[in-house]
Amino acid sequence: MVELQSIEPQKVLVTGATGYIGGRLTPRLVHEGHHVRVLVRDKSRVLGRSWADQVDVSVGDALDPDALCHALSGVDTAYYLIHSMTSGSAFRDMDIHAAHTFSQAAKDAGVKRIIYLGGLGDPQSNLSNHLRSRQETGDALRESGVPVTEFRAAVIVGAGSMSFEMIRYLVERLPIMVCPKWIYSRIQPIAVDDLLDYLVSALNTPASRDRIIEIGGSDVTTYKGMMLGYANARGLRRLLLPVPVLTPRLSSYWVHWTTPVPASITGALVDGLRNHVVVTDDSAKRLFPHIQPQDYASAIAKVIEDLDAGRIETAWSDAARAPTQSGELTRLESSQGMIIERRQRTVAAPAHSVFRTFSGIGARRGWYFANWAWRLRGMLDRLLGGAGLRRGRRHPDELRVGDALDFWRVEAVTDDRLVRFRSEMKLPGRAWLQFEVWEDPDGSTHLAQTAAFIPKGLPGLTYWYALYLFHAWIFGGMIKAIARRAERRQ
């Protein structure tokens, strides 16, 4: 993290605070001493965040002038991190409309500046609809007269970044790739930490007002170079075979079926890969001399280091949505290089009682549901040379980081809130199991159980999906058993 000088605390609004960049920017701003307010459409999506009690939460939509008036009241600077690409083919019109509405509301509220993250690309070239809309959104934000600092970036290198995850999944899953000619497009990717440094530093860099600032890493490569660079860092051998007949439409289908990128946006993303996206001016160096962007290899190494070390907090703090009417919610998704299965339910017991229940799991108490299946898995692990279940646990009721628990290792403990276990089973990948509990202001208690798996190549993917129904049965029964035990304890 860059050490900033002459920090002047401001009242800041962050839109898109539960998104990829906003979710990382918000705690950085809080750490720097700024008074932060976030604008979200669903307040429950903030509850799982570690910074939830350190920010003001304003509920509303960027298309609702009344909600924006309340959210922007008293704000000095507003970060605009909203994008409608997941809305389908009409994303451009929605983006422009939202930017116009937000800009006018910011002017009416007396906001001094808007900081916006857009897309890199030569505006005089034949830009894709996606990249063109990112730049047109910046134009729409400027129309009301509020000064705008517009950062333009290409692919953001970080676990969870949509464009980077698309590249990462292609490399992980396909030993041989038939690629379109866009793999030779020139690109200047930027590490997510460097991008955040620019966004934070802009607050106390007056010269960045009313500027379009192109930002990127320290080297220029191609999409082929990005894929081979990731493969090299992961120790994977990959063969890329470019062919001239693979159209953007065919490429988007291929990406959709090979990666977790939703079909609704693969077309727009792939179409943008035909454009060269490199920095063409040095304004970032002149305005922010203290930021020295990493090269691509260093950024990749940091991503892999974080995953190998289990530093996956951004994935675990994925927004917790409100339960359904039945009090239970299940989601399966791919994020930050992991396959994540998250279950949530409401429990008729205080949070501390729920915590005591799931923190006491394992060893003699068993795993609360289908213990025969856990014993069978332990026997299989022993046959494969693993620890199995016989390690037990150090203390029947207490956990501390580093404790062994059957074939798990305690990785994180937050009293009356959270426990995370890292698997030490013999697996074609890495796995975690986390339990978290919290109470809403209305007094209701929510329990979240998250199983995450980082597959190692095709064997890992095969393992996960082959056992998916069995795991769904095990983990579905487990969260219900924890809730029942906590309620009986109470």
Listed range (101-110, 247-256, 460-469) with the worst mean pLDDT: 247-256
Return d(Cα 78, Cα 375) in angstroms, integer: 54
Q: Compare 490 and 365 and report the one with higher pLDDT.
A: 365
At 313 the pLDDT is 40
At 5 the pLDDT is 46
pLDDT at 359 over 70: yes
- Among 94, 300, 120, residue whose Cα is nearest residue 198: 120
3-state helix, strand, coil in the chain (%, to 5): 40, 20, 35
Angle (nearest 5°) at CA 146 between 141 and 147: 90
To the nearest 10°, the Cα dihedral for 465, 470, 476, 479? -100
Per-residue HEC secondary structure of 217-269 comes to CCCCEEHHHHHHHHHHHHCCCCEEEECCCCCHHHHHHHHHHHCCCCHHHHHHH
pLDDT at 27 over 90: yes
Q: Do 409 and 318 meet the contact criterion of CB atoms below 8 Å apart? A: no
Q: Do 173 and 257 meet the contact criterion of CB atoms below 8 Å apart? A: no
Where helices occur in 329-388 by DSSP H, the ranges are: 351-359, 371-383
Q: Quick one: tokens of 55?
A: 């920010």
What three-state secondary structure class fits 295?
coil
Q: Do 317 and 50 meet the contact criterion of CB atoms below 8 Å apart? A: yes
Return d(Cα 467, Cα 464) in angstroms, integer: 5
Percent of the chain with pLDDT over 70: 84
Q: Do 300 and 233 meet the contact criterion of CB atoms below 8 Å apart? A: yes
Listed range (91-100, 136-145, 322-331, 375-384) with the worst mean pLDDT: 322-331
At 131 the pLDDT is 86
> What's domain 11-308's superfamily in CATH?
NAD(P)-binding Rossmann-like Domain (3.40.50.720)
Q: How many residues does the chain have?
A: 490
At 114 the pLDDT is 97
pLDDT at 4 over 50: no
| Sign, CA torsion 67/71/74/76 | negative
pLDDT at 119 over 50: yes
Q: Compare 338 and 92 and report the one with higher pLDDT.
A: 92
AA identity, residue 395: H
At 140 the pLDDT is 94
Q: Quick one: tokens of 364?
A: 């003699």
Buried b (16+ CB within 10 A) or exposed e, 406-426: bbbbbbbbeeeebbbbbbbbe
Sheet bearing 211-214, strands edge to edge:
56-59, 35-40, 11-15, 77-80, 113-119, 148-153, 211-214
* Cα 343–chain centre separation: 18
pLDDT at 314 over 50: no
At 317 the pLDDT is 31
Q: Do 64 and 40 meet the contact criterion of CB atoms below 8 Å apart? A: no
Domain range annotation of the chain = 11-308, 323-489
Task: Please provide the CATH number assigned to the domain covering 323-489.
Answer: 3.30.530.20
Where helices occur in 4-76 by DSSP H, the ranges are: 20-31, 65-72
Angle (nearest 5°) at CA 22 between 18 and 23: 55
Q: Compare 338 and 389 and report the one with higher pLDDT.
A: 389
pLDDT at 249 over 70: no
pLDDT bracket for residue 258 (50, 70, 90): low
What Cα–Cα distance (Å) separates residue 258 from each residue in 85, 171, 252, 253, 462? 20, 10, 10, 9, 14
User: What is the average pLDDT score of the chain?
Assistant: 84
Listed range (104-118, 275-289, 448-462, 469-483) with the worst mean pLDDT: 448-462
Return d(Cα 88, Cα 95) in angstroms, integer: 12
At 94 the pLDDT is 86
pLDDT bracket for residue 164 (50, 70, 90): confident
Return d(Cα 122, Cα 247) in angstroms, integer: 22
Q: Do 211 and 149 meet the contact criterion of CB atoms below 8 Å apart? A: yes
At 316 the pLDDT is 29
At 182 the pLDDT is 76
pLDDT at 332 over 90: no
- Among 443, 444, 451, 431, residue whose Cα is nearest residue 483: 444
442 exposed, middle or buried (CB, 10 Å; 0-12, 13-18, 19+)?
A: exposed
Q: Are domains 11-308 and 323-489 of this chain identical in fold?
A: no
State the average pLDDT over residues 138-145.
94
Q: Compare 163 and 453 and report the one with higher pLDDT.
A: 453
Return d(Cα 344, Cα 327) in angstroms, integer: 8
What three-state secondary structure class fits 303?
helix
Percent of the chain with pLDDT over 90: 44
